[in-house]
Structure 1
Amino acid sequence: MANGPAVQAAWREKLVTKATGTRFGKDHAFQKVKTYDEFKDAVPIRDYEDLKPYVEHILHGEQNVLWPGQPAYFAKTSGTTSGVKYIPITSDSLPNHINSARDALLNYVHETGRAEFLDKKLIFLSGSPELEKKAGINIGRLSGIANHHVPGYLRTNQLPSYETNCIEDWETKLERIIDETIDQRMSLISGIPPWVQMYFDRIRARTGKEIKDVFPDFSLFVYGGVNFEPYRAKLYESIGKRIDSVETYPASEGFIAYQDTQTEEGLLLLLDSGIFFEFIPVENFFDEKPKRLSIAEVEVGKNYAVIINSNAGLWGYSLGDTVKFVSTNPYRILVTGRIKHFISAFGEHVIGEEIEKALQYAMQRHPEVEVTECTVAPMVAPPEGGLPYHEWLIEFGMPPNNMAGFARDLDKRLTELNVYYDDLISGSILKPLVITPLPKNAFINYMRSQGKLGGQNKVPRLSNDRKVAEGLMSASNE
């Protein structure tokens, strides 16, 4: 915390030295790289698509490709343009994932002096720990892989059982989790907020009680993956009291940060955990040669795209996330969004391309339809009650003869394009999308109201909040 720039410089040197003999190190002349400027010249910014050829070499059995030896695991995750992504986790990078989760809890104990929760039952709502193999490498979702490495002192109190965690169907799994936990002394609950909310809703439906009365020892909520703010009020209402919480910032590519204090804003950036970070000012990200900054060069209050270089063998890798520093002593961040438009209010990571493809598919199935403009927004807390959903606000030039059928086809295609969205729909976390038809000129009136009519300005195809949706509805009613 006290020596961020020096620690990061040491990691850069260590990573480059160790990877010099790899295929990637040879391709990028690592033996000549001594300074940060030489590193930037040698290693271009990449996304998964750019790194994919190296991953393919590993999947075909080649050793020493991105990092010495071969990965211990591949974390399987949904790609935006490339379908499934295989993110390497090496024996060197595994401690970053496991120890960081541990340290988030131990930091909480250190700061607050509250350790009683470790003596009672803990639940980590996660994916299945069952793994498959490819080229002799274990493959699974990150949360499932992490499940195999829960420290012994936590495992004895961990719920649900391994067998229940392996259930793929979320509805079935959730009922079994409730069976196993409802009469236990639960003290810590960890998971993505919408999934935890569903767990709470089912418990309340079964017992008629608030969570604090079902789990009187429940004292710590650990979360990550999506913005907590839209869920905070309803979650605390379900619990019936305010409790401490610890926010984490884990990704398949690495554990980036965690909340290290209950009194200060932001998440502590993990600078001594096998990752050399770089930051690109958001306004420069799409430049041909974007400005790259080390931790020593960042400023408070500016938005940056996060780039990582790690002992998992990721080099110049763009996470796609944007962060803002709220402190540089120590280095604490807020996650501010994605470098591109997206919806991930529930962890679904739906992107504009998927919206476009779903719309194209539905219009082919309903050839009478003309769409003037559309945008999509999450409806986290429907005013009419019931499950949340994606709201498609569409201005039709010619509406479909069968609106319900058109909506079904949109939803069908989106579930095919995005595995996370499919999981949420099939798991009854979300209900199928809802179309809200808008009157003629709704988008024009909205852009006029924003002073952005004409030129290169356009309404984003999708947003992770309801600002655009509410602006459109307001402009439509004027």
Structure 2
Amino acid sequence: MPSVKAALSKPFAKYIAKRIKKWASKPAETQLKVFNNLIADAKYTAFGKDHQFNSIKTYQDFKPKVPIRDYEALRPYVERVVKGEEDILWKGKPIYFAKTSGTTSGAKYIPITKESMPTHVEAARNAILMYIHETGNSKFVDGKMIFLQGSPILEEKNGIKLGRLSGIVAHYVPKYLQKNRMPSLKTNCIDDWETKVEAIVEETINEDMSIISGIPSWVQMYFEKLIEKKNKKVGDIFKNFNLFIFGGVNYEPYRAKFENLIGRKVDSIELYPASEGFFAFQDKQDEKGMLLQLNSGIFYEFVKADDFFNENPERITIADVELGVNYVMIISTTAGLWAYNIGDTVEFTSLKPYRVIVSGRIKHFISAFGEHVIGKEVEQALKEATENTSISVNEFTVAPQINPEEGLPYHEWLIEFENEPKNEKDFIKNLETSLQQQNSYYFDLITGKVLQPLKITKIKKDGFQTYMKSIGKLGGQNKIPRLSNDRKIADTIWQLHLTK
């Protein structure tokens, strides 16, 4: 018999699905309303005054007055907010800063306001409710749920609390889920990731886990430690585990490995959360892509990735996007980010409603020779090369080898295999074929004898974890870039854990 909680979740899920359908069916109207509200609410802030918000009536007025900025360009305003000044980027003060580690700029402080915080919580909740509405499955709400996340311990800076986004969100888990939620607060507060995972295993190994959530690479570590302890598949340890919720990276490179670790298939929900906003979630099990959150206080603009580094690239709204084009996503939000480049690239998989996949990072690509290979392409190539085979990959990254000891330059794939290919030549050929089919520039460089076909370097077991630990980024929301345009990551991994 389902509990009262499980029974009540279905009519609530139906109600939420109806509300979502209402705004999703009016995308341009929904976004225009968000845009107008943002401009009106920030008119008297320092940023609003500096950028003449009082004279902005339309999106066409907005574009020339508010240039695209990344964190570095917005930093002078953010620093004033961090110092405790009010009405700078958004009215009043933020209630939190999500602290992230920037690769070039040191720590970043992303403001979260009383207007933006609820959108993070609602989107995560709605993702689960849409799954219940679609599948009718609500039994899992009676089981235990685990969210592998950062520490909920928050610091304070000039009266504003700060921490990792996942740690901040941990304070907003609804009361009706608190009883079922794991791990304990004490365990969640452990800083060292390996110690934390060991503690989580001890706490959960004898529980009835029904939902497991986190970044796939770190959930994988948790699964492997469970199997080590019990000598059973995860699906046998947790008989009622039937829903995996993930975000941060593409799940496809991990899917075969996870099904092997679990011992069966489980449903999954993909999320697209970031410190800057909760942008999308998977709303259908049988549809590719995630529903873009058009009604969450975020106004979206898009720039074609191929044009992004031009002097004056064209900026468009949701109304003018096309399917299958690689766009840089630009946001303006109720947290006071304006025409802000978060660094992600997305592609639309559907325009009715608007669904996206994350195709990569605008700075994570290989174009050492003009090929402009992106994250989605290397992930797709790996998926095709391992499909219907026994090959299993734990982690990988790709880098250009510009000055090889002999022969032409090439792309080097550093791969940590769980199960190696029986025929490495065939595996490389399949990777190579897929990449050439997806990327005409890469094809031309190979056939034009500018590049030679890719090469594989096998990395020892846990080599990528060792690398992440060496740079102080093991666990949490940190993940390995799928590809880089230089050899910084590749050379460090070579030095740490190389198997020939």
How far apart are 1:420 and its partner, in Å? 9.5
The residue type paired with residue 114 of structure 1 is N
Alignment of 1:48-127 (within 5 A): 48-127=71-150
Secondary structure of the residue aligned to 1:20 is coil
The residue type paired with residue 165 of structure 2 is L
Cα RMSD (Å) of the superposition?
A: 3.6
How far apart are 1:170 and its partner, in Å? 1.3
Query: Structure 1 residue aligned with 2:63, among 40, 52, 57?
Result: 40
Secondary structure of the residue aligned to 1:128 is coil
Query: Structure 2 residue aligned with 1:381, among 410, 417, 424?
Result: 417
The residue type paired with residue 14 of structure 1 is N
Deviations 1:48-101, CA, capped at 9 Å, x for gaps: 000111111011111010000011100011113201111010010001111100
How far apart are 1:374 and its partner, in Å? 9.1
Secondary structure of the residue aligned to 1:320 is strand
Question: Take 1:211 and 1:177, find their aligned partners in 2: how far apart are those partners?
Answer: 14
Relative distance call for 1:172 and 1:342 in structure 2 (3 A) is: farther
Deviations 1:89-138, CA, capped at 9 Å, x for gaps: 00100011111000000110011110010111000000100010111111
1:75/1:89 contact within 8 Å kept: yes
Relative distance call for 1:429 and 1:3 in structure 2 (3 A) is: closer
How far apart are 1:214 and its partner, in Å? 0.4
Question: Take 2:104 and 2:396, find their aligned partners in 1: how far apart are those partners?
Answer: 12
2:144/2:207 contact within 8 Å kept: yes
Partner of 2:217: 194
Partner of 2:162: 139
Query: Structure 1 residue aligned with 2:173, among 141, 147, 150?
Result: 150
Deviations 1:343-386, CA, capped at 9 Å, x for gaps: 9999x99999xx99xxxxxxxxxxxx9xx98976552435579x
Alignment TM-score, normalising by the size of structure 1? 0.76
Question: Take 1:102 and 1:426, find their aligned partners in 2: how far apart are those partners?
Answer: 21
Partner of 2:442: none
Partner of 2:204: 181
Relative distance call for 1:206 and 1:342 in structure 2 (3 A) is: farther
After TM superposition, the runs of 4+ consecutive aligned structure 1 residues lying more than 3 A away are 342-346, 348-352, 372-378, 382-385, 418-421, 425-430, 462-465
The residue type paired with residue 356 of structure 2 is I
Relative distance call for 1:421 and 1:262 in structure 2 (3 A) is: farther
1:282/1:304 contact within 8 Å kept: yes
Question: Take 1:350 and 1:171, find their aligned partners in 2: how far apart are those partners?
Answer: 22
1:349/1:420 contact within 8 Å kept: no
Unaligned runs of 5+ in 1: 357-368, 386-410, 431-458, 470-478
Alignment TM-score, normalising by the size of structure 2? 0.73
1:341/1:351 contact within 8 Å kept: no
Secondary structure of the residue aligned to 2:472 is helix
Percent identical pairs in the alignment equals 51
Secondary structure of the residue aligned to 1:423 is coil
1:97/1:254 contact within 8 Å kept: yes
Secondary structure of the residue aligned to 1:381 is strand
1:111/1:261 contact within 8 Å kept: yes
Q: In the comparison of the two structures, how many residue pairs are matched?
A: 398
Q: Give yes or no for the alignment of 1:336 onto 2:386.
A: no
Relative distance call for 1:464 and 1:301 in structure 2 (3 A) is: farther
Relative distance call for 1:45 and 1:291 in structure 2 (3 A) is: same
The residue type paired with residue 307 of structure 2 is N
Relative distance call for 1:420 and 1:57 in structure 2 (3 A) is: farther
2:398/2:412 contact within 8 Å kept: no
Partner of 2:298: 275
